[in-house]
Chains A and B, each alone.
Chain A
Amino acid sequence: MVKITDKEAICIAVLFLLGSNIVIGSGLDVKNDNWIAGILGLIYFIPFALIYARIQVLHEGRDLPEIAELLFGKVFGAVIIAIYTWYSLHVGALVLRNFGEFVKITSLTETPLIVIMLSFSIIIIVAARLGIEVIGRISTYALPVVILILILMEVLSISQMNFNYIKPYFAHGLPKIARAGFSAFTFPFGESVIFLGIFYSLKKRGSAYKVFLTGVITASIVLITLTLVNTFILGPVKDDFYFPSYSSFSRIQLGNFLQRMEGTISVSYAITCFIKASVCLFVTCKGISYIFKLTDYRFITIQTGLVMTYLAFILYENTVEMENWVLNIYDYYAIPFQVIIPLFIWVWAEIKNRISKNPKEKTANYQSEETQ
């Protein structure tokens, strides 16, 4: 069985969570208070990270389809597998679409969107076909590159920053910021429920807690810093841009020799989207192969990857529709996948765990009494 180390898993988690948010930012809708929304999103998410990790620890070595079938039986288990297979396919398609829109708007303006997405999906399909071990190894090399690029760009953009743009604090009122915090919870933190489909391959027992918490906290630090930098540079006009990080880094200018540095954020974005979409495709293929009891998921990666790409193409008609979905609809849509079903799985898993432990305890007590 393929295994990944804790380090690889943490790198996958961080890159996955950075995903599309590296250019979009987190906790949208509250302008200069976005960073507070990001922190609130992290605070809301930590209990759920522990729940996801607990589900994984209770079923060491099993992925989400196996857990669902073990807990709920064949029929209801298959329904849950189908729901999560759809969700990972959908998240993968959203990531592909975001990346396609980004490339089309910023650089390849004349190229058809489907061509951009098909080109990108080729490497995603290859990565998913090669398996989680390869994605893990790529992540360990890619994460330092992404972090270094971001730190370098943030340092270089200090001269463009106006620290007063962050004031007034809490200008949008706590209820609205708390609501934006929930938005940061669903996108991107809550999407890590998809990890339940890959963390069966963790080498060490019980390391899911460490991986979930380290991954989420590292990704949130990067995202909150990025949101703050965007606010400092773009100020009140930040929300006028679809991709604020790209716009803020395009303002870097050190003399005449160091300018137009926005290409670097495009590289980081390509890396994070690649990892996120590959993980989503991997989990989707695993789900489909489990439903149809296939011996290997690799046989269906190409066609599933193509379906994901076409789905990404037909999801929205334009960028405005995409932004409306992300801002207004996604939060509600994600609740069942990220909150309700995992809670249900966790409670049921704990009950089953207690029930299966009790007979063992009774037998142990009985045996100790007999020996006395």
Chain B
Amino acid sequence: MCIIVILSYVVLGIYEFVPLYKEKRWKEFYVNLGLSLISFTLAFLISFNVKIPSPLKPIELIIYSLFMK
């Protein structure tokens, strides 16, 4: 599974980053790189069945403590 993830991201990388590099659009390049790193990390962890904490949990805790005491 993780090999599929790595391969897909390599293909995506070639498709997305090569044109940006050639056109020297550095701002777009770095923002895309940041987003790619986030999405790759998430995809890699999901492929290993790692339980990633949901961002809704802290929101839920705040709402419970504020409105549902």
Contacts and interface: CB of A to CB of B under 8 A. Distances in A.
B59 A333 contact: yes
A61 to B, nearest CB: 24
Contacts of A294: 27-28, 31
Interface residues of A, number: 27
Contact of B32 (A303, A316, A317, A328): A303
A223 B42 CA distance: 36
Interface in A301-336: 302-304, 306-307, 310-311, 313-317, 325, 328-329, 332-333
Interface residues on B, range: 20 to 34
A318 to B, nearest CB: 12
A314 B54 contact: yes
Given A329-B59, A332-B67, A333-B59, A313 B32 contact: no
Contacts of B59: 329, 333
Contact of A300 (B28, B55, B66, B68): B28
A114 B46 contact: yes
Interface in A186-238: none
A329 B65 CA distance: 12
Majority SS at the chain A contact face:
helix
9 nearest A-B pairs in the assembled complex, by CB-CB distance:
A303-B35, A310-B42, A306-B39, A299-B28, A314-B52, A332-B63, A292-B31, A307-B39, A303-B36
A329 B28 contact: no
Contacts of A317: 54
Contacts of B28: 294-296, 299-300
24 contacts: A288-B31, A292-B27, A293-B27, A295-B25, A295-B27, A300-B28, A300-B32, A303-B36, A303-B39, A306-B39, A306-B43, A307-B39, A307-B42, A311-B55, A314-B53, A314-B55, A315-B54, A316-B54, A317-B54, A325-B56, A325-B60, A328-B68, A329-B59, A332-B67
B57 to A, nearest CB: 10
Interface of B: 12, 16, 20, 25, 27-28, 31-32, 35-36, 38-39, 42-43, 46, 52-56, 59-60, 63, 66-68
A328 B59 CA distance: 12
Contacts of B12: 302
Contacts of A303: 16, 32, 35-36, 38-39
A300 B25 CA distance: 13
Contact of A304 (B35, B56, B60): B35
A317 B12 CA distance: 29
A339 to B, nearest CB: 14
A288 B35 CA distance: 10
Contacts of B39: 303, 306-307, 310
A329 B66 CA distance: 11
